[in-house]
Amino acid sequence: MSRVAIAMSGGVDSSVAAALLLEAGRDVFGVTMRLGLAELADRACCGEEEALLARSVCDVLGIQHLVLDMADVVEPFCAAYAAGLTPNPCVRCNERIKFGAFLERVRRLGADTFATGHYARISWTEGQAWLERGADRQKDQSYFLYRVPPESLALLEFPLGDLTKPEVRALAEARGLPTAARRESQEVCFTDDHTAFVMARHPEAGMPGPIEDSTGMVLGTHRGIARYTVGQRKGLGLSGPKGPYRVVHIDAARNAVVVGAADSLLRQHVRLTECVWRLPGPARVLAQVRYRGLPLPATATPTAVGLAVAFDTPTGGLAPGQSVVLYQGDRVVGGGVVPASALSC
């Protein structure tokens, strides 16, 4: 019988995933990732609270539970925000930590495969594993997993891929799991206030500075670049001839926030960096520029330096540091990161 490790987050999704694996007759043990930072001790993710909840679920299920310390994801996230970018820590954590170093650790502990509570699916074509969207389009998490390489996908299991969130809640309640009614985790799961978290490590990201238009005219004063992201309108309180201003560029070197009209953010072409691409050449794709964004028709072309993406119609959802994930139907075929130069003035 193959042995499967299930990543236990202390939430309802991983709890139900563990229960389903066990009920399928699998040899299951639970593992929880802890970031090992004192200020996260009471966090719902990656802290002591999570570990205790995960252990309580494993006790109910009668399976072994282990806690492994993995702290690598926090500082790169903070440094990117301090540099004026808008990184997605879940993407990097999944690539480098959860399905990188963490996967290696559980394999050394004797696991043949590694399961999580993600809402995503894996399909196989000619012996190759492919990532696909989960059945629940409201909870689909394939966007966060696009950087997981094929060799790692081949070792993964997503027991919730064909389920919806309401179905998962009902399964948890029916089994009397202690996490059945637990609230959803935050998008940045290791902190409720990412701004304060970043500024505690990079105080310069909280220093006031000028808000300027594209000509360099000072229109006001910002409260620290960590509080702003490209495309943001809320909190500026500034309007121009075309309506409320939005953030169009964050100049970390000068500690300046540059604003402009909404249409100045529109782009029809972007060259992605840090790319993954699983097709042999250019292809028609659906490009998702944000986790909750609508997939946009586009053409992706691999180049010597990354991926060139041409949208059928201009889009304003791009922010430096964010990922653009590329699909054909439900299948993830590639993606990459929007570089800082993409929207600079």
Phi, psi of 209 (to 5 degrees): -160, 180
Radius of gyration of the chain (CA): 21
Catalytic residue (choose from 58, 78, 90, 93): 93
Q: Is 189 a catalytic residue?
A: yes
Q: Are strands 3-7 and 113-115 parallel, antiparallel or unpaired?
A: parallel
Q: Are 182 and 56 a contacting pair, CB within 8 Å?
A: no
Q: Are 35 and 188 a contacting pair, CB within 8 Å?
A: no
Query: Which residues, 6 or more positions from 283, have their beta carbon under 8 angstroms from its beta carbon?
Result: 299, 300, 328, 333
Nearest residue to 80 (alpha-carbon basis) of 246, 198, 210? 198
Catalytic residue (choose from 45, 78, 189, 275): 189
Cα 135 to Cα 120, 271, 301: the distances in Å are: 7, 30, 28
Q: Are 204 and 82 a contacting pair, CB within 8 Å?
A: yes
The label of the residue with tokens 């966060």 reads 144
Q: Is 46 a catalytic residue?
A: no
Query: Which residues, 6 or more positions from 182, have their beta carbon under 8 angstroms from its beta carbon?
Result: 10, 11, 12, 53
191 bridge partner residues: none
C-alpha 345/C-alpha 340 separation (Å) is 10
Nearest residue to 16 (alpha-carbon basis) of 182, 136, 143, 132? 182
Q: Are 163 and 189 a contacting pair, CB within 8 Å?
A: no
Catalytically annotated residues: 93, 189
